[in-house]
Amino acid sequence: MPEGRKAQEMSIEKAEKTISDFLKKKLGRDAKIIRLEKTDKGWIGNAEVFEDSSFIKSLGLPARVQDRNIYAVSLDNELGVVGYKLKKDDDDDDASGDKNV
């Protein structure tokens, strides 16, 4: 495998791990990376996280139902987290300007 390609794959793996570790620490839940893109400013990743249903909790019922939530996480070129957000259906893909870290 060419060195450039190997380095790129290692960068992708490091970005995935950074996002997963960040969300695990922040939310206390495992995250599955479902999208990762390199940009000129760093990385943008989307991660799937299953969390207890906020609706069921608001009713005071035991939370046996889980919601599938998608979080967008933005990393700079040094793999530092610069923002994250819970995505809504009509959101764009990056997490810039939201919940800065």
| This prediction's pTM | 0.79
- Residue 88: the pLDDT is 85
- Residue 5: the pLDDT is 66
Token readout for 35 is 């999208």
* DSSP output for 33-95: EEEEEEETTEEEEEEEEEEE-HHHHHTT-----EEEEEEEEEEETTS-EEEEEE--TT--S--
pLDDT above 70 covers a percentage of the chain that reads: 78
Domain boundaries, the chain: 3-86
H or E segment at 32?
A: strand 32-39
Mean pLDDT of the chain: 87
Which residues partner with 78 through β-bridges?
Answer: none
- Residue 101: the pLDDT is 53
* Higher pLDDT among residues 47 and 6, named by residue: 47
pLDDT band at 1 (very low <50, low <70, confident <90, very high): low
pLDDT for 18-61, tens place per residue? 999 999 999 999 999 999 999 999 999 999 999 988 888 899 98
